[in-house]
Structure 1
Amino acid sequence: MVDGGDALRWTAGRAAAHLRVPTRADDKYSRGVVGLRTGSDAYPGAAVLGVQAAWRTGIGMVRYLGPARAAALVLQRRPETVTVDGRVQAWVIGSGMDAAARTSDETAALRRVLDGTVPVVVDAGALDLAVGARAPRVVTPHAREHAALRERLGLPAGEPHGDAERAASARETAAALGGTVLLKGAVTTVATPAGVTASVDAGTPWLATAGTGDVLAGILGALVAAAQADAEAAGTGLDAEALGPLAATAAWLHGRAAVRAAGAGRGAASGPITALDVADALPRVIAQLLGASAS
């Protein structure tokens, strides 16, 4: 990643360096445990999408904590998911939530996560709580959410134009927030508090469809949990700067999985996809990436 100036274009080689391959010495805990507090009664599908993406990215365990209807749908799709609280190496919060409709109990639970010590992926309906949090965190706004976040930080809230302006805006937001920013778009920009930046091309415009942001959050949560598990085993932990390359890698996997799901590449025509298609394409994309990096 690049410190200031133009954002570094994230590549397959850079993404491969941040994938964790299990060994014969691993168990489900050493591979990482990611927890998700996502979904709502209005949007239960967001929970399913994030959980599916986390499993498909490669993780030892997924814990899901959320409304009963969302939990039932998660278990119907992914029965291996654990729906009781417990230790995790990363959290994903906010996907499929509406900040205006959040209960006081849910807000308190999200604040406890954000005041903890493990890294947090902050999406959608939890972005309003990211300012002033203590946990290492990466926020995942789209353009309108980014403008609202900047307003909360006391920064100019106008939408930037062009890749260079978007990168500069994301860097400014990350510095003020004290966390990493993954600014979603046709070109996704990742910026850390120190001003380190990367850009990731979405790969296909078919990715602009409902639920794909929930998938991205799940991918990123799995990557962060695996990296945090390794860091904890070494007696350390991830900080906001370390979340930058993981965020760029998540965006890269997300885009390549969308391309594969859409049937694009190698001269083939592309076609419509759904968010679950993207999640389900992840294992093949990861296997291909690891195979290429080993050759």
Structure 2
Amino acid sequence: MVEIHEWDAVDTAALLRKPTADDHKYSRGVLGVRTGSQEYPGAAVLGVEAAWRTGIGMVRYLGPDRPADLVLQRRPETVTAPGRVQAWLIGSGTDATTRPPAETARLEELLQGDVPVVVDAGALDLVPGARAPLVVTPHRSEHARLRGLLGLDDTDATTLADRVSAARETAAAAGIAVLLKGAETVVAAPDGWSTVVRAGTGWLATAGTGDVLGGVLGSIVAARAADRELEAAQLARLAAAAAYIHGHAARAAAAGPITALDVAEAVPAVIGTLLSGGDPAR
């Protein structure tokens, strides 16, 4: 029987980095973002918005021109010039079947580096063979495709125990952290550690919320990577923290129907509650 740990506010707060008087924008973490496309530019806007609202020193957006213009309209503090980063967010709002060869080469370069990478959606096909510390954020069908690429058997995991087992197997096979999205989000590390995050709401089932989650996670990873090296085991716990914040931001915003941008805008209040020792679930 699979033992299931439920992630909570105390677990999350322990991983958040509160800025001090000695901090500057680089010490607070720099997130590099290569998301969005000409067809799906909004994913870039949502991910960048969420990253800023999670609390980070700088966001560098290095995607296509159309998303870059929209990102700067929404968040003019975003930097669009190359430079040092502590983590990358890639794949949101992209499609592997239409990705230009030059972009594939650049993403593969990132995935062979030393900087942690949050891999979403359209970049999951590049995970096999990657050497960088990775955390992937698939939903059910994306997870099935990723397992196929890794040579793992297809699984029709519907129960929570089955989903935990499948996520653990994927994490161990690829040596990565896995955040398997769903009504009950499952997070697993290669060493067999896993947890479940029950923080969301049915209103999260709307376009763009996964892009927001990517931004929250990328920001948390960059903040922690600013002063320490991160491996998959640590990335898994940061992923659980991001899922917890994301879910409770949705709950805070959901007096009724919500949009992805509503979720991003509710993130600071959730983080403030956690940093002050409160529990957003109460």
What TM-score, normalized to structure 2?
0.97
5 Å-filtered alignment, 1:1-295, equals 5-231=2-228, 237-263=229-255, 271-292=256-277
Q: CA deviation at 1:274?
A: 0.3
Query: Does the Cα contact within 8 Å between 1:16 and 1:293 map onto a contact in 2?
Result: no
Q: CA deviation at 1:158?
A: 2.5
Alpha-carbon RMSD: 1.1
**1:185·1:202 contact (CA, 8 Å) conserved in 2?**
no
- Once the two structures are superposed, what CA deviation does each residue of 1:149-190 show, in whole Å capped at 9, x if it has no partner? 001111111220210000000000000011000000000000
Structure 1: distance between partners of 2:199 and 2:14: 20
CA contact (8 A) 1:143 1:159 kept: no
Task: Give the TM-score normalised by structure 1.
Answer: 0.93
Task: Report the residue type matching 2:86 in the other structure.
Answer: Q
- Matches of 1:85 and 1:45, distance apart in 2: 21
Deviating above 6 A after TM superposition, structure 1's stretches of 4 or more consecutive aligned residues are none
SS at match of 2:232: coil
Deviations 1:91-113 (A, max 9, x none): 00000000000000010010011
The aligned length equals 279
Displacement, 1:293?
5.0
Deviation string, structure 1 residues 235-278 (Cα, Å, up to 9, x no partner):
xx111111011000000000000000003xxxxxxx10000000
- Structure 1 distance, partners of 2:124, 2:100, is 15
Q: Distance in 2 between matches of 1:159 and 1:60?
A: 41
Query: 2:155, 2:166 within 8 Å by CA — same for their partners in 1?
Result: no
What is the aligned-residue identity percentage?
Answer: 64
The answer (yes or no) to whether the contact 1:10–1:252 under 8 Å persists in 2 is: yes
CA distance in 2, matches of 1:57, 1:241: 22
Q: Deviations over 1:208-259 (max 9, x none)?
A: 100000000000000000000021xxxxx11111101100000000000000
Report the Cα offset of residue 197 of structure 1.
0.1
State the alpha-carbon separation in 1 of the partners of residues 216 and 4 from structure 2: 22
